[in-house]
Amino acid sequence: MSEHIERTFVALKPDTVKRGITGKIIDIFEEAGFKICGMKMVWADSEILEEHYAEHVDKDFYEGLEEFMSSGPVVAMVLEGVNAVENGRKLVGSTDPKEASPSTIRGRFAHMSFDHADSSDTLHKNVIHASAEVDEAEREISIWFDEDEVHTFEQAHESQVR
C-alpha cells in the first residue's frame, strides 16, 4: 500500500439502519473513491461498546450511549482510500449536525442538534461514526473485525487511477 493509502473504520449507527438509509451512505463513500474492505451488520453488545467507547465509559452520558448503540444493528465497515481517515471525516461532517455542511453525511441525514438533544433530555443521534486518527482507526478495526474479515483486493478501475 502507498503511504497515502489508509484504512479507516466507519459505523452506521442504529438510527441509520432503522431509517433505511444505509445504502445511500455507502454510495457516498463508494462514489468518493473509497474501497470497502470489510462490512458486516452487528448487533453490538456491551463488551464491544465498552471497548470501542473506552474513553467515555465513566462519563454520565455513557449509559444512554450504550443503550442507543445496542438498540438495533450497526453496519460496521472498513474503508480504504487515499488519506482515508481525513477524507472520510470530511465526508461525514461535524459531530454536531447543526454545524455540519449540508453536503456532508451528517448535514444531509442527521436531524438532531446537541442543543435539541440536551433540551429534550435525549441522546444525540448523529447517524454515523468515523475514526478521527489513523491509530484510532487501527484500534477500532481490530475491535469490530477479525483479521480474516478484512480483505485486500484490486478494484477494476485501480490500475487506471494509479
Buried b (16+ CB within 10 A) or exposed e, 123-136: bbbbbbbbbbeeee
Residue 110 and residue 130: Cα distance in Å, rounded?
A: 14
- Is residue 129 part of the annotated active site? The answer reads yes
Residue 125 and residue 10: Cα distance in Å, rounded?
A: 15
Residue 80 and residue 8: Cα distance in Å, rounded?
A: 6
Instruction: Please report where in the chains the cell 473506552 appears, as a residue.
Output: 54
Q: Which of 52, 129, 151, 157 is catalytic?
A: 129
The answer to whether 87 touches 17, Cβ cutoff 8 Å, is no
Parallel, antiparallel, or unpaired for β 35-42 and 74-82? Answer: antiparallel
Active-site residues: which are they?
129
